[in-house]
């Protein structure tokens, strides 16, 4: 009998160990996806696989058979395919910031965000069923070299705890510097590490501790109304285009439009708390009074009206119950359904000062669900990207109609009325690498450039002519949503000592470098945005030209 060839021996080995090959490949799939999508070095991949294998061998300390070892890793197998698809889409593993958002997001928003993963999730679930089946069919023979496996697992725990702090400069030549915390990209360590950070940060946000710098009462005998409208997913480029097409900007006397505004984040659970507190970092949010606190101190009847299912003002941990009993939550497809609530407030508070915060559903996906048929100004036809853009632009048509109707209502009040509108972030519509929606880990201009406009009725403009002219003069400057709170407080007449110097757009505004919070919850400068998107020169040039 002839000796078997190497090929036949390999085939026999695969036939004998096919179950282990599949089971291990499935468990390590997120690491391979991470390597493929980030163009990391081969040593980086090998180091990541080593960390993962050591972690996955930890159950060998307790179990003593092949079947038990793989069944013990079933929880990690369950998420393996899903996380791999996430990494391929976002080009990065799930970060602590994304997990913190989960802690502050209700099921409706989660459903909308996870909708895109329904097919990968189904495939992952089917593969997990195969994983369980194959693991169960493995024999229950004792593990070979169990002591070596146990030692590897214990080494893995020691390494994960110690090595990030060791430096290990000797490995720089292999591009596996532990200063970069490469182990955090190894599955399932990244899930545990990010989960711990998310819980820690969420607790920090909950423990708000602040003192209001000053108490102020709105002076005068006539009624004063101040309105902040927080849009959702409305980007500057589309707002500009729709506004020009529909002649929106010239229809309303007293409208001042800012055409170069940077959002403070490309996801709601960071941008809204920062908008309401005037914070420039998330760390500042917990220690600052928010707009509700300021309005209450001024003696306003305060109302918070939200049609945004992703962010309920009245119970979100990041705001720490800012609304109290004044929170009114709508769950409607259309923002116009909030207008009767506004009408009721205007009618019942005619002799008192009123402060309103409106949080719109705006242009959040699914865009076609955000506007009624009569607002379909742009025909929804063509390829996928053209249909997506058209339905999105139609949602912006309805946003501008909502703003117009609100201005009409405020124009009829007897006293002074002041209104500001901006969006929490923008949206991608497949212009760049097929990216859709927001919360991408490589934020684009489309996600971060947002509209901002101010409006006041004739009574207010006449009473504050100098400040209103200063607001108009500043409208061509580069600003960010970080200036909204200071401007509102200035408009309400809070003493100058309570405002941060140079931050109010109704005063001597001082332009500074603009920053935004990345989905990893790290602070990034606008310069880094432009550098990271240097391949989008045409986009940047087109945006500047439009502005």
Residue 217 lies in a domain: no
Question: What pLDDT is attached to residue 322?
Answer: 32
Are residues 235 and 202 part of one domain?
Answer: no
Question: What pLDDT is attached to residue 255?
Answer: 93
Which of these ranges, 31-40, 122-131, 277-286, 424-433, has the smallest mean pLDDT? 31-40
| pLDDT of 213 higher than 90 | no
Mean pLDDT of the chain: 77
Residue 1 lies in a domain: no
Q: Which two tokens stand for residue 500?
A: 């941060």
Residue 81 lies in a domain: yes
User: Helix, strand, coil proportions of the chain in percent (round to 5)?
Assistant: 55, 10, 35
Q: What's the pLDDT tens digit per position in 473-512?
A: 999 999 999 999 999 999 988 877 677 888 899 988 888 8
Q: Give the residue among 488, 345, 475, 484 at the shortest CA–CA distance from 406.
A: 345
Are residues 249 and 158 part of one domain?
Answer: no
Question: What pLDDT is attached to residue 141?
Answer: 73
Q: 234 versus 533: which is more confidently predicted?
A: 234
pTM of the model: 0.65
* Pair 217, 495: CB distance under 8 Å: no
Q: What's the pLDDT tens digit per position in 29-66?
A: 888 888 887 766 777 777 778 778 878 887 877 777 88
Are residues 197 and 252 part of one domain?
Answer: no
Instruction: For residue 158, count other CB atoms closer than 10 A to its CB.
Output: 11
Are residues 166 and 197 part of one domain?
Answer: yes
| Number of helical (H) and strand (E) elements in the chain, helices listed first | 22, 13
| pLDDT of 339 higher than 60 | yes
Question: What pLDDT is attached to residue 422?
Answer: 95
Question: What pLDDT is attached to residue 453?
Answer: 95
Confidence of residue 207 (pLDDT cuts 50, 70, 90): low
Residue 374 lies in a domain: yes
* CATH number of the domain where residue 464 is located: 3.40.720.10
Confidence of residue 315 (pLDDT cuts 50, 70, 90): very low
| pLDDT of 274 higher than 50 | yes
| pLDDT of 154 higher than 50 | yes
Question: What pLDDT is attached to residue 537?
Answer: 38
**Cα 184 from chain centroid (whole Å):** 21
181-185, 530-534, 539-543: which is most confident: 181-185
Are residues 140 and 29 part of one domain?
Answer: yes
Q: What's the pLDDT tens digit per position in 428-441?
A: 887 777 777 877 77
Mean pLDDT along residues 380-397:
87
Residue 228 lies in a domain: yes
| pLDDT of 275 higher than 80 | yes
**Cα 476 from chain centroid (whole Å):** 27
Confidence of residue 291 (pLDDT cuts 50, 70, 90): confident
Confidence of residue 452 (pLDDT cuts 50, 70, 90): very high
Confidence of residue 520 (pLDDT cuts 50, 70, 90): confident
Are residues 301 and 195 part of one domain?
Answer: no
Are residues 239 and 130 part of one domain?
Answer: no
Percent of the chain with pLDDT over 70: 73
Mean pLDDT along residues 416-423:
95
Confidence of residue 92 (pLDDT cuts 50, 70, 90): low
**Vertex 383 angle, CA 379 and 389, to 5°:** 55
Are residues 249 and 153 part of one domain?
Answer: no
Mean pLDDT along residues 297-318:
63
Q: What's the pLDDT tens digit per position in 220-263?
A: 778 899 999 999 989 999 999 999 999 999 898 889 999 899 99
Are residues 242 and 195 part of one domain?
Answer: no
| DSSP string covering 53-121 | HHHHTGGGGT--BHHHHHHHTHHHHHHHHHHHHHHHHHSSPPPHHHHHHHHT--HHHHHHHHGGGHHHH
CA-to-CA distance for 250 and 246, rounded, in angstroms? 10
Are residues 199 and 320 part of one domain?
Answer: no
Question: What pLDDT is attached to residue 31?
Answer: 84
Count: domains in the chain: 2
Residue 299 lies in a domain: yes
Question: What pLDDT is attached to residue 293?
Answer: 82
Mean pLDDT along residues 352-362:
88
Query: Which of 161, 179, 206 is the last residue in one of the domains?
Result: 206
Residue 213 lies in a domain: no
Are residues 294 and 200 part of one domain?
Answer: no
* Pair 424, 392: CB distance under 8 Å: no
Question: What pLDDT is attached to residue 451?
Answer: 94
How far CA 70 is from CA of 3, 121, 126, 136, 469, in Å, comes to 34, 21, 17, 9, 70
| pLDDT of 319 higher than 80 | no
Question: What pLDDT is attached to residue 227?
Answer: 93
CA-to-CA distance for 371 and 275, rounded, in angstroms? 26
The runs of H, that is alpha helices, within 412-451 are 445-448
Are residues 270 and 126 part of one domain?
Answer: no
Residue 216 lies in a domain: no
Query: Which of 206, 239, 257 is the last residue in one of the domains?
Result: 206
Domain of residue 177: give its range. 7-206
Query: Which of 206, 235, 261 is the last residue in one of the domains?
Result: 206
The runs of H, that is alpha helices, within 328-451 are 339-348, 384-411, 445-448
| pLDDT of 324 higher than 60 | no
């Amino acid at each position: 009998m002839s000796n078997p060839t190497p090929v036949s021996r390999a085939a026999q080995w695969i036939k004998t160990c096919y179950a282990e090959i599949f089971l291990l490949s499935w468990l390590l799939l997120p690491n391979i996806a991470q390597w493929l999508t980030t163009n990391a070095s081969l040593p980086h991949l090998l180091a990541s696989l080593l960390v993962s294998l050591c972690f996955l061998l930890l159950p060998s300390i307790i179990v003593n058979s092949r079947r038990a070892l793989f069944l013990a890793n079933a929880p990690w197998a369950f998420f393996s395919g899903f996380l791999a698809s996430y990494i391929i889409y976002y080009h990065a593993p799930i970060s602590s910031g994304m997990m913190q958002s989960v802690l502050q997001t209700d099921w409706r928003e989660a459903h909308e965000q996870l909708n895109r993963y329904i097919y990968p999730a189904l495939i992952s679930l089917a593969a997990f069923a195969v994983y369980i089946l194959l693991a169960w069919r493995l024999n229950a023979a004792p593990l070979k070299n169990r002591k070596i496996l146990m030692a590897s697992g214990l080494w893995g725990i020691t390494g994960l705890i110690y090595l990030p702090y060791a430096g290990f400069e000797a490995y720089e030549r292999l591009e596996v510097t532990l200063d970069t915390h490469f182990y955090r990209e190894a599955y399932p360590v990244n899930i545990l590490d990010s989960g711990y950070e998310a819980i820690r940060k969420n607790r920090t946000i909950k423990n708000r501790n602040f003192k209001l710098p000053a108490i102020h009462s709105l002076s005068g005998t006539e009624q004063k109304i101040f309105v902040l409208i927080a849009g959702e997913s409305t980007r500057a480029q589309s707002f500009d285009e729709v506004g020009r097409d529909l002649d929106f900007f010239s229809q309303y006397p007293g409208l001042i439009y800012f055409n170069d505004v940077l959002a403070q984040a490309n996801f709601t659970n960071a941008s809204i708390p920062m908008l309401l507190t005037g914070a420039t970092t998330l760390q500042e949010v917990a220690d600052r009074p928010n707009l509700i606190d300021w309005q209450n101190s001024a003696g306003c009847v305060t109302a918070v009206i939200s049609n945004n299912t992703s962010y309920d003002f009245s119970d979100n941990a990041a705001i720490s119950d800012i609304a109290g009993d004044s929170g009114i939550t709508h769950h409607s497809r259309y923002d116009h359904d909030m207008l009767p609530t506004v009408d009721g407030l205007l009618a019942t508070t005619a002799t008192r000062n009123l402060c309103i915060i409106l949080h719109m559903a705006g242009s959040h996906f699914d865009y076609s669900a955000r506007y009624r048929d009569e607002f379909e100004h742009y025909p929804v036809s063509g390829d996928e990207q053209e249909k997506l853009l058209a339905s999105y632009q139609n949602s912006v048509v309805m946003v501008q109609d909502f703003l117009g109707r609100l201005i009409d209502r405020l124009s009829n009040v007897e006293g002074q009325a002041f209104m500001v509108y901006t969006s929490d972030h923008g949206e991608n519509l497949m212009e760049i690498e097929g990216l859709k929606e927001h919360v991408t880990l490589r934020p684009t201009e489309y996600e971060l450039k947002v509209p901002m406009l101010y409006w006041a009725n004739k009574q207010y403009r006449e009473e504050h002519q100098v400040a209103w002219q200063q607001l108009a003069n500043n409208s061509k400057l580069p600003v960010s949503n970080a200036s909204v709170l200071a401007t509102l407080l200035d408009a309400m007449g809070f003493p100058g000592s309570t405002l941060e110097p140079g931050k109010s757009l109704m005063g001597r505004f001082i332009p500074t470098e603009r920053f935004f919070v990345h989905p990893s919850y790290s602070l990034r400068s606008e310069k880094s945005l432009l550098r990271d998107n240097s391949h989008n020169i045409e986009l940047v040039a087109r945006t500047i030209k439009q502005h």
